[in-house]
Amino acid sequence: LQGFFDEKVLSGKQVLLTAGPTFEPIDAVRGITNISSGKMGYALARACRDAGAEVTLVSGPTALTPPVDVRLLPVQSAQEMYQAVLSEVGRSDVFISVAAVADYRVKNRSEHKLKKGDAVPVIELEENPDILATVAGLPAAPFCVGFAAESQNLLDFAEQKRQRKKVPLLVANLAQHAMGADSNEVVLLDDAGQHPLPAMSKDEVGRAIVAHLARCLNR
């Protein structure tokens, strides 16, 4: 793997990634979100950078240190992430969708803080755009890499997702293993089949995904 990186397998490539959760406001001080530390996405951004790519990272709110030599575009909501991705995707060769995007946003969000004395609020939800499916469906789509965090039936659900979103490469992991941890155990799914990787640090998983991605691009 080391030799791979000495060769800068992604040199000259523009890579766009999303990472972290999104935050969907309920009122001025509250919101709903997904559980995501952002560690896998940031590790992958660093791996792409180390492989010679020019990297843009669209990130939801995380507690992580911004990677050096990576262009960071911070966002909060799924709609902001969608806008940021669509404005960047035209110049990208690869799109890697690691973010845990909230599937729904609050339709009846309140500008001001809700007060406890008022009636118990009813939160109405509406669906967010699917960023990965939108990018994969563009006429001049970049090479798209998706993630699937499932809590059961991992490989079936993940392969269904890969086909539904029409992405050539999908990284499947169990939510219970991945969430918040510094390590991960993933299976790469592509047209050739399933490629299980051993459990290792998220930095190592990131480098292994980059090595596989580079092979896909050169195929």
List the binding residues for CTP. 103, 113, 129-132, 147, 161, 165
Determine the interface stretch with Ca ion among 37-45, 46-54, 101-109, 132-140 (rule: CB under 5 A).
101-109
Active site residue 34: yes
Torsion of CA 154, 21, 96, 63, to 10 degrees: -120
Asked if 124 touches Ca ion (CB under 5 A), the answer is: no
Is residue 147 a contact partner of residue 169, using CB atoms and an 8 Å limit? no
Q: Using the rule CB under 5 A, is 103 a contact of Ca ion?
A: yes
Residues contacting residue 205 through CB under 8 Å, at least 6 positions apart? 40, 43, 183, 184, 186, 197
Assess 148 for contact with ligand CTP (CB under 6 A).
Answer: yes
189 is a site residue for ligand CTP (CB under 6 A): no
Residue 146 contact, options Ca ion, ligand CTP, none, Cβ 5-8 Å cut-off depending on partner type: ligand CTP
Conformational region of residue 54, where left means phi above 0, alpha means psi within -120 to 50, and beta covers everything else: beta
CB 17 → ligand CTP: shortest distance, Å? 10
User: How many CB atoms within 10 Å of residue 151?
Assistant: 10
Minimum separation from the CB atom of position 103 to Ca ion (A): 4
- Binding residue numbers: 103, 113, 129-132, 147, 161, 165
Q: How far from 64 is each of 22, 72, 102, 138, 198, CA to CA, in Å?
A: 15, 12, 20, 31, 25
Q: How many CB atoms lie within 10 A of CB 192?
A: 9
- Applying CB under 6 A, the site for ligand CTP has a residue count of 14
**Hey, which residues between 99 and 128 contact ligand CTP (CB under 6 A)?**
99, 101, 103, 128
* Contact footprint for ligand CTP (CB under 6 A): 78, 97, 99, 101, 103, 128, 130-132, 146-149, 161
Which are the catalytic amino acids? 34
* Contact footprint for Ca ion (CB under 5 A): 103
